[in-house]
Each structure stands twice: as structure tokens, then as C-alpha cells.
Amino acid sequence: MTDLADLERRAAERAVARAGGQDRLSGHIVCDGLVRIFRTEGTEVMALQGLDLVVDRGELLAVVGASGSGKSTMLNILSGLDEPTAGIAKVAGYDLLGMTPKKRLEYRRRIVGFVWQQTARNLLPYLTARENVELPMRLAGGRRRRKAAELLEMVGVGDRADRRPAEMSGGEQQRCAVAVALANDPEVIFADEPTGELDEATADEVFGALRAVNAELGVTVVVVTHDRNVAGQVRRAVAIRDGKTASEVRRSARLAADGTQQHVSEEYAVLDRAGRLQLPAAFVEALSLRDRVRLDLETDRVEVRPGTIPPSATGTAEANPGSAWSETLSATDTIEAGSAPSATDAVEGRPGFAASEPPSATDTSVSGEDR
């Protein structure tokens, strides 16, 4: 007779197999097939549509996307403020699907720290900077005064310890908020648009504080942002579109032949378990892709071509295979590594392509409310 433990084991094995193996589920933060559906008055809105994301321990990651793309919904789930409808969501070994209230409180107090865009959510206005940092320690029963001073010093506002929020600038308030987020030695910090209300110079200071705690303390940091400058300062930026991870940009420094250091960016489309991917908006617009496309399998790549002939070329390309439009679709006009897509290029689906300035995932941003 099959017992409950055996059924659970077999279900877990099937989940791992569907996810593409155990490695896919072994990150410090794991979202796999994450779904969130909001229901109001008979209407259903699917904010997350099978989102996949893996973040390694100690990583500094930027999550970018247009308003309404689902990035804030994802952050609320990972922060323990909301529950997913389906899928897998794990942070530091905690399974966020169906946690008990007691376990959720423990998770939010000891595992994660938060930095929100609105200062009112980060700091109590009637407490000084030091007192704001000490407050979470009091709730957790930890050592306070000396540690609070150390954290404020680390983020660059040690000389503001005795000031209340109203006596500090916006950038100083946000850096103080980073210190508050670190009060109970969390494993992960989630920052939701931490520089959204700041000018560029002040935003750099706040992001510098996040970089410092990531480098010095090894804390995993996930920053949700619209700011292109912030997204350009991390080694890895993931773009979310229509409730799914659409693409990611990885940045690295390499030595050139002449010994100089070059910064290289590589943009990848994200392939989900069903074999689906989203083409970057710049590519779609460059070739006026609509409704359907042609796919050609080559030895080392998949080529994506327009599926219809433009009205201006109707009757020409079919009658004369050697016409300009036919030549546009020839294999010799595909985009090579390092080149930007143009309206006369076909788009290659390589395993990954390098570019000095790849189309940024943030180029797809539109206005509207984030879910």
C-alpha cells in the first residue's frame, strides 16, 4: 500500500523532472513556474504566468520591466507579503507556498530585509536613525547600540545617527533604510525601486550602499527597478515581461589582446520548460514581426524570419526569388555577434550573443501601474 510519504516523494521527483533537473531548483532564491492570479468581482488577472528565476547565494541582481510586468508581484511573494497561486517559490530553504503564519513571521524577521521606495515604509518619523536601526534588534532580542552604529557607518550615514528622518535628505533616508534592513543579519535583501524618488547622483550613493553590503557581508541583494543606470551597474539584470522572465543581460570584464580591460555585455533570451521565448522588443520592431514568423534550423543556430511579405513587396519576391526582398531574407544577412539589428537583418536565435551595447531589457518599458 502506498503511504503519504511515498506519494510526496514521487510528486517531488516529478516536479524536479518538469523543472529540468535538481540544479534548476538549487539556488538561494528559486521561482519555478510561479503563478499569481488575482480575482475580483468575477474577473481574473494573471499577474505571473509561470515565472522562472534562480538567484545564487551572494548575488547582486537587478530585476527590470515595464509597469504591469509582474515584478512587484514577484517581489511581494518573495518578501512573504503575498502567496503564489501555484508553482515553486523558495528563499534560503523556506518554501513560501502555504507557510504557516508563525513560519512566515520567522521568515520575515530573520531571513529577509526590505528597502521600499517610500521612506514612510522604511523609517519611523519620530525615531532617530540609530533608534530606527535598533528597533528590529529589540524585537529579535539582539545586541543593539554598537551594531547600529556599525551599520550606519557602513552605508555612509554614521554622522546622521542622532537625526530624525525629517532632518535627513532623501538619499540619507534610503541609506539609513538599508541599515535598518540589515539589522537582524538577513540572508537576503529585497529593494523595491530604492532610487525611484532620487536624482541620479543621490541614486548612485544609495546603490553604492547596497553594493557595499553585498560585497562586505555577502548578503544576496535583489533590486527591482526602472532605473537604467542601476540595471547597468550589476553583473546580471533580468527582464520580466507579461508575467514571465523574458531576457537577461550578463556583464563581465575581459582582457583584450593589448592588455586593456574591456567591459562586455551579453544578452540572452530566456527559454522556458515548454521551449518558449520572448524576442526583444527592439528585434520585433526592427523587422516588423507580426502574428507569425518563419523558423529555420541551422547547424549552430535557429533563424527567425518575418512570416509574411510586406505589402510593398507583394508580387515581387514570389515572382523573382532574386529580388531585394528575397535577398533581405537570405542567410547571409543574419545578425552577427556584436552588431545591432536593423530593419534589413534577420534575427538569429543563438545560444547567446555578445554585444558591446545590446538592446537593453529596460527599453521595453511603458507607463502604467505595476501589479
Q: Note the pLDDT of residue 67.
A: 83
31 or 348, which is more confident: 31
Structural domain includes residue 163: yes
Alpha helix (H) residue ranges in 169-238: 170-181, 200-217, 228-231
Model confidence at 56: pLDDT above 70: yes
Are 197 and 280 found together in one domain? no
Are 307 and 202 found together in one domain? no
Structural domain includes residue 46: yes
Q: Note the pLDDT of residue 232.
A: 79
pLDDT, tens only, 38-53: 988 888 889 998 899 9
Structural domain includes residue 6: no
Are 199 and 276 found together in one domain? no
Lowest model confidence (mean pLDDT) among 216-225, 233-242, 275-284, 287-296: 275-284
Are 34 and 170 found together in one domain? yes
Q: Which residue has the cell 529540468?
A: 20
- pTM of the entire predicted model: 0.73
Structural domain includes residue 329: yes
Structural domain includes residue 17: no
Domain boundary among 223, 241, 259: 241
Q: Is residue 189 a contact partner of residue 112, using CB atoms and an 8 Å limit?
A: yes
Are 150 and 64 found together in one domain? yes
What average pLDDT does range 255-268 have in this prediction? 78
CATH of residue 215: 3.40.50.300
Q: Note the pLDDT of residue 330.
A: 39
Structural domain includes residue 252: no
Are 65 and 198 found together in one domain? yes
Q: Note the pLDDT of residue 140.
A: 59
143 or 14, which is more confident: 143
Q: How many domains does the chain have?
A: 2
Look up the domain containing 315 and give its range: 272-364
340 or 245, which is more confident: 245
Q: Is residue 123 a contact partner of residue 173, using CB atoms and an 8 Å limit?
A: yes
Are 360 and 236 found together in one domain? no
Distance from CA of residue 313 to its chain's centroid?
41
Give the number of other Cβ atoms within 10 Å of residue 249's Cβ: 24
What is d(CA 343, CA 135) in angstroms, rounded to the nearest whole number?
57
Give the number of other Cβ atoms within 10 Å of residue 94's Cβ: 17
The mean of the pLDDT values for the chain is 79
Q: How confident is the model at residue 269 (pLDDT cuts 50, 70, 90)?
A: confident
Domain boundary among 197, 219, 241: 241
Q: Note the pLDDT of residue 360.
A: 47
Model confidence at 234: pLDDT above 60: yes
Are 56 and 198 found together in one domain? yes
Structural domain includes residue 147: yes
Q: Note the pLDDT of residue 351.
A: 52
Are 195 and 295 found together in one domain? no
Residue 234: CB partners within 8 Å, gap ≥ 6?
60, 61, 62, 223, 251
Are 54 and 113 found together in one domain? yes
Q: Note the pLDDT of residue 278.
A: 83
Are 176 and 50 found together in one domain? yes
Structural domain includes residue 64: yes
pLDDT, tens only, 277-327: 888 888 888 888 888 888 888 888 888 888 866 565 555 544 444 433 333
What average pLDDT does range 354-362 have in this prediction? 44
Q: Note the pLDDT of residue 65.
A: 85
Model confidence at 127: pLDDT above 80: yes
Are 196 and 288 found together in one domain? no
Q: Which residue has the cell 530566456?
A: 270
